[in-house]
Copies of this chain bind each other. A is one copy, B any other.
Amino acid sequence: MDYKVINFNQKYSLFNDRWSPKVIAEMNDYQFKLVKVKGEFEWHSHEDTDETFIVIEGVLQIKFRDGIVNLKQGEMFVVPKGVEHKPVAENEVKILIIEPRGVLNTGNLENNELTAKNNVWI
């Protein structure tokens, strides 16, 4: 068994590309992914799963068709499955995403220019 602790800041130091989630751990068939984002993402949804956002550093806004949330460090939000959302960040924000293995970052938009390679571990 590997007794190596996962340190978010150490992992964040390993990459600088944005909107490109990196897998750092698995729990059963779920993955923990770190991502750095800035700017506006695409409207999208995940038809088969909820998606959890935890902000590690910075401020993340998640827009919905009929509402909005502003998440800062030490805060989380679970986007229900099937609900359209659009992440937005005025300044760079570091996020931890938790969702089942295999979920694409752009959800129903499978070949968007922002669609990132899946299952990239760091």
Contacts and interface: CB of A to CB of B under 8 A. Distances in A.
A116 to B, nearest CB: 20
A84 to B, nearest CB: 11
A122 interface: no
A9 B103 CA distance: 29
A28 interface: yes
Q: Is the interface of A mostly helix, strand, loop or mixed?
A: strand
B74 A7 contact: yes
Number of copies: 2
12 contacts: A1-B66, A4-B69, A5-B69, A5-B77, A6-B77, A7-B75, A8-B74, A8-B75, A8-B76, A25-B76, A27-B49, A27-B52
A66 B3 CA distance: 10
Interface string A36-56: 000000000000011110001
B32 A30 contact: no
